[in-house]
Every structure is written in structure tokens, then in C-alpha cells.
Copies of this chain bind each other. A is one copy, B any other.
Amino acid sequence: MPAWPPAGSGPSPVEGPSRLAGAPWATVRDRLRARGLRWTPQRRELIDVLAASTGHVTGSELVERCRAVDPATVPSTVYRTLHVLEALGLVSHSHGHDGREEFHVLPEVDHGHLHCTRCRRTWELPAGEAALLTAALREARGFAVDLSHLSVGGLCADCRAQLAALGSAGLALE
């Protein structure tokens, strides 16, 4: 793993809106400052890592990736920064099947999660598919569903097929 150029030494690769097209990361610094928050090297590192990530990442994965960039990285700082970024709307988090934190980079689209309790895979559940539920809950209880906190567990089609194939042979525990 190539060491990154020491922060601040030498001209860093184009820091324009070039590759950041569609990436709000470029504006994070100003967004932080506008709130009286600060732009620190540690935060910059995490944001670099986030900008290179997509989809779901667990907190510890992010810690590891940061450590790859800067071995001096400390977990608490990463977690704290993640919470700050969440307040800015740049990431969101939910709890995976095992209760571990999963961060969601750039939650452009509001969606829930579907995960198979057998194969542990996860899918995104777009608002459309949950619409009936959210509408029903709003009407019946006045409850406003937050899709990012909607998590549905169960058996995916593949696993159901596999179990069916196994037939009644095994009352398998697992």
C-alpha cells in the first residue's frame, strides 16, 4: 500500500471539482466551518476514505481503511467524525443483522434494508416497495416511518430454494 503524500507537502493532485462531480465531499470543509465546526487532518482522511467508498460499510471497516492511510488513526475519532457527518447528512447509519453499525455513504435515495438471515446478504429496499407499509402505519398510528431505519429480515429466494431442495430431510438447526 502506497503511502500517501504527506499531507500538505507538494501540490496535491487536482483538487478541483473534476472527479468530485456529484460528490458533495468537496464542500464538506465549508459546510463544517459554516456550522462553527473544524476542518482537521483526521477529518480530511476519513472523508477521503468515504469518497472512495460506496454502498454499505461498517464502522470498523472505515476505521481500518483510515488506518491504512494513516496508522495513527484512532477509532474514537473516526466514530465521532462519522456522527458529525451524519448530522450533515453525508452519511447515515443503520444496524445490520448482527447489530453492527453500517454506514451508508451519500444516502441519495431513501431506502430500507432487506437481509437474509441465512446467507447474510443484504439488499436495498426502495421506498416504493415499502410504500404500502409506510402508508398503513401513518394512517393507523400516525407513525412516520423513517426508511433508513427500516430493516426487514427473512429468507431470500435463493435460500428458500436451497432449503426446499434439502427437502424434509433435515430439520437443520442452521
Contact = CB atoms under 8 A, between A and B. Distances in A.
A129 interface: yes
Given A146-B117, A149-B117, A152-B150, A157 B130 contact: no
Chain A interface size range: 35 or more
Interface string A117-133: 10000010000011011
A142 interface: yes
A80 interface: no
A1 interface: no
A61 B172 CA distance: 30
A29 B115 CA distance: 34
Contact of A149 (B87, B97, B101): B97
Given A99-B100, A101-B99, A152-B150, A157 B141 contact: yes
A123 to B, nearest CB: 8
Interface of A: 87, 95, 97-101, 114-117, 123, 129-130, 132-133, 136-137, 140-146, 148-157, 160, 173
